Amino acid sequence: MAVQAPERINILLVDDQPAKLLSYEVILSELDENLIKANSAREALEHLLKTEVAVILLDVSMPELDGFELARMIRDHPRYQKTAIIFVSAIQITEIDSLRGYEAGAVDYVPVPVVPEVLRAKVRIFSELYRKTRELERLNADLERRVAERTAALEASAARLRDSEHRRNLAMAAGRMGAWEWDIVLDRYVWDEGQFRIFGVDPAEFEPTAANVDSLIHPEDRESIRTVALEAAVSGRYRDREFRVRRPDGNLRWCMASAAATLDEAGRPVRLSGVTHDITERKLAQQALQQLNEQLEQRIEQRTRERETALAQLFEAQKVDTIGHLTGGVAHDFNNLLMAVLGSLELLKKRLPPDDARSHRLLGNAVQGAERGAALTQRLLAFARRQELKPETVNVWKLMCGMEDLLARAVGPGITIEKHLPSGLPSVRVDANQLELAILNLAVNARDAMPLGGSLSIVGSEQRIPAGDTLGPRGLSPGSYIRLDVVDTGIGMDEATLARATEPFFTTKGPGKGTGLGLSMVQGLAVQSGGAMTATSEPGRGTTIALWLPQAECEDLPAEPGEAASEDADAAIRPELTVLVVDDDLLVSAGTAAMLEDLGHRVVEASSGTQALEALRSGAPRIDVVITDHAMPGMTGLELARRIQETFPRMPIILASGYAEAQELADYGAVPRLAKPFRQSELAAVIYATRTGGAGLASEAPPPVVAAGCEG
């Protein structure tokens, strides 16, 4: 069955310059949406009154009405109070202008000259958000319709039950009534046959005296019956009363007695006459109706909770998916910028005088800031489970021993750290750097939960999950695992907080003290590594975070790199090589070329895959290594690598990218990865690998692709 393509939405482009409108149309044509152009505010308002618009791209400076005034007018219309408005400005936007724009209703700014990829990414995000919102509204309407139909059906059922009860009461009035008289002067009862039938006694054996009648009335109802009878006798007015009859066979019946007094000539009551109705069936029907109403209310409450839960899950899924797409799209450009910054700072550091402490300190601050930016991108990718992990065999005991000083500095002197890790604990298969970062995140969370001090325990144990087991974490496959428990004695969490602890951006810390991505990142690492994460906590009793990581099949750990390896690498890369650098970003290309030239290599630059192939075919100069970006227009780095293999099967290739889908690169070959932004030493190590057998220089083997991605 063919998947129906999503309905195209309308995007309004407003600018008084036709050339800019044409450029926006060309840039956004890849989105395959309906693009509506307007040369003025008046024309834009005419389109908005006639057409449903999802996203508005609005120029700030226009004659007649500027962008801010037009945005306010658009927001005044009820239909477009929540429509995404993106301002485009060719002048420098100050903070005051930004605040003015956001007050007018803007959701984002795009500076001129426009970067096509950025504009497309932003418009695509708001377009998808519009579609998701419409879909959510449709689902809400459908759910409300179904609830209304169900409610109407239940109300109709209740009405039928009430009608049935009415007909049943009519039948009871014809056959379940008894007449009686009480001679007040003689204190004697006279019953008809129906009265004996209601009380369940034999007229031949039962004499209806006051004492005998009282013995059949429920003890809790006797006094009230006497009181009503006396009131009717004294007042001469009509009285009725419900009461219960306990028949000789033990059967309990509900009855309704109605009575009126007969007065003598002097106005004194001499007789009390009445009828008794057996209303047991009516009482049972009322109880059934009450029970049905209670069940109906419970089902409506349950359906409401299910609806709220479904909506909450849908919203969270949409939020996670949106953030994942946004992170993946921005990571490439953001890491390219960090690549240029870090590369330039590293080369600048080599050129500073050793005794210039202040410059070195400032340079170190700049490097630290850039590295924090890269770490933030990695956290977002980890939370969205889009990072590219580098699993390896990791000895947990050695890893924790190496982190002792780091953990002690992270938690401070007021917290005692205890380790309970058997030295013979089997190794795990995980990304070592990400595992260190996860444990450090958990330690920092524990520190914040113990403001007055406490203890932090890290406990390791072997766990075996057999097939069909239901006691382990949900979704965990059968197998052997290492469980790492990070236990603190802090303030703990209540059930509501614990339920939201792993939600993205949820944090109980104050403003500026947490991103809310820590536990999300830890959970993402565990799940991506084939394990799981569980959390238990009680207020005042601390918190336990358990990481379940799969055991490594092989205990042979990779040798630690030492000075000898470093010297071999230096020796291997000393010979001057000619490196072809392919990147459509001139800043990144220039930074990479500068690092290579500083290492003593010659550099040939190309801004596209086509230029790279031409440089290789020309043979002048002879290329030794190719370093290519992955995300490039026209021809991606992966496509370029395949084209090079067809003609130059022995050519070493390094595939670099600020962000790429991990699965796409993994399908190409299991090779070491280099994260971008990378340092000069990492670049040197990759080139070293291409010259020492790790590059696939064998005659029949395909050349390697060493991928640099920000996911790791």
Q: In terms of pLDDT, which residue wins out, 227 or 239?
A: 227
Q: Are residues 402 and 370 in the same domain?
A: no
Q: Do the beta carbons of residue 311 and residue 300 sit within 8 Å?
A: no
- Judged against a pLDDT cut of 50, whether residue 216 lies above it is answered with yes
- Judged against a pLDDT cut of 70, whether residue 566 lies above it is answered with no
Task: Provide the token pair at 367.
Answer: 């490097």
Q: Are residues 698 and 569 in the same domain?
A: yes
For 16, the 3-state DSSP assignment is coil
Rounded average pLDDT over 19-32? 88
Q: Are residues 219 and 296 in the same domain?
A: no
- Residue 60 lies inside a defined structural domain of this protein: yes
Q: Are residues 296 and 247 in the same domain?
A: no
Helix ranges, 105-206 (H)? 116-175, 193-199
- Residue 130 lies inside a defined structural domain of this protein: no
Query: Last residue of some domain: 383, 416, 432?
Result: 383
Q: Are residues 518 and 439 in the same domain?
A: yes
At residue 499, the pLDDT reads 72
At residue 92, the pLDDT reads 59
Strands (E), 610-704: 625-629, 653-656
What angle (nearest 5°) sits at the alpha carbon of residue 651, between those of residues 647 and 654? 120
At residue 485, the pLDDT reads 92
What is the CATH number for 222? 3.30.450.20
Q: Which of 118-132, 153-167, 449-463, 694-708 has the lowest mean pLDDT?
A: 694-708
Task: Provide the token pair at 324.
Answer: 């994942």
- Judged against a pLDDT cut of 60, whether residue 479 lies above it is answered with yes
At residue 698, the pLDDT reads 29
- Residue 122 lies inside a defined structural domain of this protein: no
Confidence class for position 379, pLDDT limits 50, 70, 90? low
Q: Do the beta carbons of residue 31 and residue 123 sit within 8 Å?
A: yes
Q: What are phi and psi of 707, to 5 degrees?
A: -95, 135
Which one-letter DSSP state was computed for residue 377? H
Q: Are residues 329 and 212 in the same domain?
A: no
361-393 burial by CB neighbour count: b if 16+ within 10 A, else e? eebeebbeebeebbeebbbbbbbbbbbbbebeb
- Judged against a pLDDT cut of 50, whether residue 663 lies above it is answered with no
Query: Last residue of some domain: 248, 278, 308?
Result: 278
CA distance 679 to 347: 10
- Among candidate residues 583, 572, 584, 695, the one with its CA nearest the CA of residue 645: 695
Q: Do the beta carbons of residue 651 and residue 644 sit within 8 Å?
A: yes
- Judged against a pLDDT cut of 70, whether residue 606 lies above it is answered with yes
- Residue 518 lies inside a defined structural domain of this protein: yes
Distances (CA, A) of 286 to 161, 169, 187, 294: 10, 12, 36, 12
What is the CATH number for 447? 3.30.565.10
- Judged against a pLDDT cut of 70, whether residue 515 lies above it is answered with no
CA distance 513 to 522: 18
Q: How many CB atoms lie within 10 A of CB 292?
A: 14
Q: Are residues 341 and 434 in the same domain?
A: no
Per-residue pLDDT reduced to its tens digit, 235-286 = 767 677 888 889 998 888 898 888 888 888 887 888 888 888 888 888 888 8
540: left (phi over 0), alpha (psi -120 to 50) or beta: left
Share of the chain above pLDDT 70, in %: 78
Rounded average pLDDT over 596-608? 90
- Among candidate residues 349, 242, 374, the one with its CA nearest the CA of residue 659: 374
pLDDT, averaged across the chain:
78
For 277, the 3-state DSSP assignment is strand
Amino acid letter, residue 333 = D
At residue 694, the pLDDT reads 44
Who's near 652: CB < 8 A, 6+ residues apart? 624, 625, 626, 690, 691, 695, 696, 697, 703, 704
Who's near 168: CB < 8 A, 6+ residues apart? 281, 282, 285
Rounded average pLDDT over 160-183? 66
- Among candidate residues 437, 386, 384, the one with its CA nearest the CA of residue 665: 386
- Judged against a pLDDT cut of 80, whether residue 451 lies above it is answered with yes
Q: Which of 72-86, 407-421, 550-564, 667-681 has the lowest mean pLDDT?
A: 550-564
CA distance 203 to 208: 9
At residue 386, the pLDDT reads 55
- Judged against a pLDDT cut of 80, whether residue 384 lies above it is answered with no
Torsion of CA 297, 299, 305, 307, to 10 degrees: -120
- Judged against a pLDDT cut of 50, whether residue 569 lies above it is answered with no
Q: Do the beta carbons of residue 198 and residue 176 sit within 8 Å?
A: yes
Per-residue pLDDT reduced to its tens digit, 310-347 = 676 567 556 656 666 666 666 666 677 777 777 777 77
- Judged against a pLDDT cut of 80, whether residue 636 lies above it is answered with yes
Q: Do the beta carbons of residue 262 and residue 269 sit within 8 Å?
A: yes
What angle (nearest 5°) sits at the alpha carbon of residue 346, between those of residues 341 and 350? 145
Per-residue pLDDT reduced to its tens digit, 119-153 = 888 888 888 888 888 888 888 988 989 998 988 88
Which one-letter DSSP state was computed for residue 373? H
User: In total, how many domains does the chain have?
Assistant: 5
- Residue 568 lies inside a defined structural domain of this protein: yes
What is the CATH number for 696? 3.40.50.2300
Which structural domain, as residue segments, surrounds residue 680? 563-708
Whole-model pTM: value is 0.39
Share of the chain above pLDDT 90, in %: 4
Confidence class for position 36, pLDDT limits 50, 70, 90? very high
Distances (CA, A) of 203 to 196, 208, 253: 6, 9, 18
Confidence class for position 671, pLDDT limits 50, 70, 90? very low
Q: Are residues 39 and 80 in the same domain?
A: yes
- DSSP assignment of 301-320: HHHHHHHHHHHHHHHHHHHH
Q: Are residues 542 and 409 in the same domain?
A: yes
Query: Last residue of some domain: 501, 520, 550?
Result: 550
Distances (CA, A) of 594 to 46, 343, 475, 653: 54, 8, 49, 19
Confidence class for position 169, pLDDT limits 50, 70, 90? very low
- Residue 68 lies inside a defined structural domain of this protein: yes
Q: Are residues 223 and 239 in the same domain?
A: yes
- Residue 141 lies inside a defined structural domain of this protein: no
- Residue 222 lies inside a defined structural domain of this protein: yes
Q: Are residues 518 and 405 in the same domain?
A: yes
Distances (CA, A) of 8 to 4, 128, 178: 12, 11, 77
At residue 699, the pLDDT reads 29
Q: Which long-range CB contacts under 8 A does 519-523 form with residues at least 24 apart?
A: 519/441, 519/445, 519/545, 520/382, 520/383, 521/379, 521/382, 521/383, 521/437, 521/438, 521/441, 522/438, 522/441, 522/442, 522/547
Q: In terms of pLDDT, which residue wins out, 78 or 616?
A: 616
Q: Are residues 352 and 441 in the same domain?
A: no
Confidence class for position 528, pLDDT limits 50, 70, 90? confident
Rounded average pLDDT over 367-376? 71
